[in-house]
Amino acid sequence: MSSISVIIPAYNRRHTLPRALASVMNQKRAPDEILVIDDGSTDGTTDFLRSDFPSVRCLTQENKGPSAARNTAIQAATGEWLAFLDSDDEWTRDKLMVQEDFFKAHPHFLIAQTDEIWIRNGKRVNPMNKHKKYGGWIFDKCLPLCVVSPSAVMIHRSLFDEAGLFDESYPACEDYELWLRIAARREVGLIEKKCTVKYGGHADQRSHEFPAMDRFRIRALAKILESGRLDEGQTMSALAMLEEKTRIFLAGAQKRGNQSELEESRAQLERIKGKVQARA
């Protein structure tokens, strides 16, 4: 297998970066390069990295969000394969090794993820069934919620040429939007070994910053439906999910008395249904 670049976006995560970086540096299959993208941190992240982790490539930019940070690193990385790690997560020592073995055994796959261990507020928890991971042609499984984890995934860089980079206009659910594009085109490999440790429950998680996250998923569903890239089965599945999520979102907008949200969401749904019917 060719070279592997590890990409870690970071915004004011100096307190968790040592754990994430230690898990990368302790890999049985060492990465060929490690890139940390300081996304406009104000906690001294860059100085800390340069003094304590001089072997890490530290890229800096003004604060633009995780999509822009990942895209900056994707374009700067030299590896043929790209593995992403959120700055508050970590890997088991064999994570890169088992993914490398998977791709050697399954050369037609360009993307694969491992299973995960979940830690919430310092305690291990079992993910709910709706977060279960699947392998193969999983487009339909990607529609309700994000079932591909950035910290668990490895991607061949050619897949970004094919499907595009992260959409930087999304302040949240940017990974959900990308996985829809990728899963519509390619099989996603699943390694049923828990090699990724995801930490949650802390106050600076982006999911706490943006309530009503489904509004970004609705936007992503609308985008891929309007792209015209889905086959008939994918189109029907995505449209059904868009209608369901829009119905729930409209009920919330009505409860909030937000007339502009109501009108905009209804108009978007009717526009997309009209386009789908015109292509049928």
Asked which of 189, 206, 223 is the last residue of a domain, the reply is 206
Q: Can you spell out the DSSP letters for 201-218?
A: --TT-HHHHSS-THHHHH
Same domain, 183 and 245: no
Same domain, 180 and 232: no
Amino acid 179: pLDDT:
98
Burial of 246 (0-12, 13-18, 19+ CB in 10 A): buried
Amino acid 59: pLDDT:
97
Same domain, 230 and 124: no
Q: What is the pLDDT of residues 235-259, one digit of tens each?
A: 999 999 999 999 888 887 777 767 7
Amino acid 212: pLDDT:
72
Amino acid 265: pLDDT:
77
Lookup result for tokens 């998680």? 205
Same domain, 157 and 259: no
Same domain, 156 and 62: yes
Asked which of 183, 206, 229 is the last residue of a domain, the reply is 206
Residue type, 137: W
- Closest Cα partner for 100 from 179, 154, 161, 45? 154
CB-CB contact of 203 with 240 (8 Å): no
C-alpha 204/C-alpha 39 separation (Å) is: 15
Same domain, 223 and 122: no
Same domain, 237 and 194: no
Residue type, 242: L
Burial 75-107 (b: 16+ CB within 10 A, else e): eebebebbbbbbbbbbbbebbbebbbebbeeee
Amino acid 92: pLDDT:
98
Same domain, 36 and 107: yes
Hey, which residues does 82 pair with through a beta bridge?
5, 155
Q: Give the pairing of strands 153-156 and 111-120.
A: antiparallel
**Residues, the chain:** 280
Domain that holds residue 148: 4-206
Residue type, 166: F
Cα three-residue angle 195-132-163, rounded to 5 degrees: 80
Q: Which residues contact 258 (CB under 8 A, 6 or more apart)?
A: none
Asked which of 206, 225, 256 is the last residue of a domain, the reply is 206
Cα three-residue angle 234-80-73, rounded to 5 degrees: 85
Same domain, 104 and 56: yes
Same domain, 142 and 265: no
**Domain tally, the chain:** 2
Same domain, 165 and 191: yes
Element counts in the chain: helices (H) and strands (E): 11, 9
Same domain, 173 and 230: no
Q: Which residues of the chain have pLDDT under 70?
A: 1, 202-211, 257, 280
